[in-house]
Amino acid sequence: MAERMLQFIKLPQQTPTKREAAARKDDFSEIYESFEPGSAKAQASRCSQCGIPFCSMNCPLGNNIPDWLKLTAEGRLEEAYELSSATNTFPEICGRICPQDRLCEGNCVIEKGFDSVTIGAVERYITDTAFANDWVKPVSPAEEREQSVGIIGAGPAGLAAAERLRGLGYQVTVYDRHDRVGGLLIYGIPGFKLEKEIVLRRWKWLEEGGVKFVLNADIGGKIPFAQLRAEHGAVLVATGVYKARELGGPGAGLKGIVPALDYLITSNRRGLGDATPEFDSGALNAAGKDVVVIGGGDTAMDCVRTAIRQGAKSVSCLYRRDRQNMPGSLREVKNAEEEGVNFIWLAAPEAFLGDEQVAGVRAVRMHLGLPDASGRQSVEAIEGSHFTVKADLVIKALGYDPEDIPTAFNEPGLNLTNWGTLKVHARTFETSLPGVYAAGDIVRGASLVVWAIKDGRDAAQAMHKHFSGLSQAAAAE
């Protein structure tokens, strides 16, 4: 190990080649190239193989990161893929979109002074290599089981659960209201972070493994929720959260103030070749406009960088805290700045100017105060610090709240928490309805894709335990 690992004292950190901003901002292709084999091995060898792997401890999935880094450094890539995929259903997706700077890489013990291991880029390289070499085989259960499971939602939580349950031999059907599989992976995340083919090949992979998909599904309407419960031995709700948080203040109802998800879905659908009348009419098209995005999370970063690619005249991001206190990835901020986005830190919108169409945002400077109950510094407006930012298009990227699932599904028996998420048992993932489970953002609230994958996998294991208990009870009788 000494010869192959701990090379951080000799080798500097190297990330995959990033396309120049001037070239990449004209298209929606991914901005990072893949590692060359030699570079991947060299960067993996920088791992210190520490006794307490904080990278794994700070990964929601608990990935065996030091182990598959060592295998990569030794050129044992097929084994590295087997180990990586054992804990992560979609490692090539997490390698692209996880905020590694806040999770695994941000907690690497060699980060100070030497820079962390480029974990995300190696993770992506391992799985992309596995696909290229046909090492990624369809799910093949050791035995088939008669019990069936219906999963509502083809996003990361639902797909992760489907893969786990199918691997255990269950008959799995996934229902989704969209016309493609992937949820926000397809419609919410722009191609420059995650090209759609990466998600679509996983759809094909799951189908080849025996998972069935029912798309354009109207659950609670044309397909009654009770029908799903009758057709399947168990049902998992993994719909995510999509309801945009509202933005108040004078002028908040003006035309040209739009939710982030509406904007991103339209852009992604256009990239997929779908009809997009909202884009064609200009309502959800940033071309030639002064754009202001309000928010500081990863969704806000997706919006500002999409607006640049659509040919916006100017793009500004308004966030009430500073760079160090923003919830999104700092790597994404840097990419956005390279592409021409103007960040206005410590500023919050107060009113929206215009007659019928928005023409500007009146904002106020903010000051960071003492920590609040959550531990984050509170924000206070600075009196007399008002200023105006010109805007033809304002995009609200303030996060998402859950939809009213009991109403949407016409199933009042589903209980909610005080936050509007589905209420489940902490260990079993079961809702207030017997045999109905829930996982992902619809339970924890808007969060990261990696957490959704973990929740889906954990819920699948809990459902398997439920079925196993029923089988044992039947055998005892």
Please give the torsion angle defined by the CA atoms of residues 46, 48, 54 and 57, in that order, rounded to the nearest 10 degrees.
80
Determine the Cα–Cα distance for residues 462 and 444; give it in Å rounded to an integer: 17
Tokens in use for 132?
């290229």
What is the predicted pLDDT for the residue at 2? 41
**pLDDT at residue 233, rounded to an integer:** 96
The CATH H-level superfamily of 7-132 is Alpha-helical ferredoxin (1.10.1060.10)
In sequence order, the β-bridge partners of residue 235 are 150, 436
Cβ(439)–Cβ(236) below 8 Å: yes
Query: How far from each other are the two terminal CA atoms of the chain, in whole angstroms?
Result: 55
Q: Tell me the C-alpha distance between 207 and 203, whole Å.
A: 6
The answer to whether 227 and 459 have CB atoms below 8 angstroms apart is: no
Distance CA(262)–CA(397), nearest Å, equals 10
For residue 314, the model assigns a pLDDT of: 98
Longest dimension (CA), the chain: 77
One of 1.25.40.10, 3.40.50.720, 3.90.1520.10, 3.50.50.60 is the CATH number of 247-400, namely 3.50.50.60
Provide the CATH topology of domain 148-241+402-476: FAD/NAD(P)-binding domain (3.50.50)
Fold match flag (148-241+402-476 vs 247-400):
yes
Q: What is the residue type of 223? A: I
The helices-and-strands tally (H runs, E runs) of the chain is 19, 15
Averages of pLDDT over runs of 10 residues in the chain (477 residues) are 73 93 95 92 94 95 97 97 98 96 91 84 97 96 96 98 98 97 96 96 98 97 96 96 88 96 97 96 97 96 98 97 88 96 97 97 94 81 96 95 89 94 95 97 95 98 90 55
Total Cβ atoms within 10 A of residue 239: 27
Tell me, what amino acid is at 23? A
With H, G, I as helix, E, B as strand and everything else as coil, classify residue 380: strand
Distance of CA 11 to the CA centre of its chain: 32
Single pTM value for the model: 0.94
Strand order in the sheet with 314-318: 257-259, 393-396, 290-294, 314-318, 342-344
- The domain spans of the chain are 7-132, 148-241+402-476, 247-400
